[in-house]
Amino acid sequence: MAQQPSGPATVRAPDRPYTINAGDELEIYVWGEERLQREIRVLPDGTFSFPLVGQVIAQGQLPSQVETAITNGLSSQYRGQVPQVTVSVKAPAGFIFSVIGRVKSPSTFTPGRYVNVVDAIAMAGGGDEFANLDNVVIVRKGQNPLRVRLGGVMKGNVSANGADIPQIESGDTVIVP
């Protein structure tokens, strides 16, 4: 009979909360107000229009922050308390990145979840036989290019701390020379 470990169970740290991106499809529901239920796609400028509220900034916001913005926008329309507003991301189509260069299947990806640079390269089929995985570059809008050394990690030498592997953000381009 196998003995059960007596120590505390290992719990995986939760992923970072999802922030809304341009292109995401949102489902918005105002409780008790069927006429205000909407499925809305966030525009390329990161905003959308909502009845009785007007323009709402969604880019980079958590769904709960968008709920608050809509609730505040509706407050002038109600004498008492504003009905509860629920915002959920129906389709995270706005989280998109590209992997180019010496990979087997360069492309643009919409994974529907957060990924790190190793995941991104794996989605592109991994590096080809001439890939220089010790000089991978992540091009991120508004920032200096980020250079990453992944040669050891990609060969199975996982001595690198998981925190050393950068997360991909929407709009990133991963270049494998």
* Percentage with pLDDT > 90 across the chain: 72
- At 11 the pLDDT is 38
- pLDDT tens digits for range 122-163: 999 999 999 999 999 999 998 999 999 987 776 666 655 555
- Cα separation of 116 and 21, whole Å? 17
* Percentage with pLDDT > 70 across the chain: 86
- pLDDT tens digits for range 64-83: 999 999 999 999 999 989 99
The structure's pTM equals 0.76
Residues constituting the chain: 177
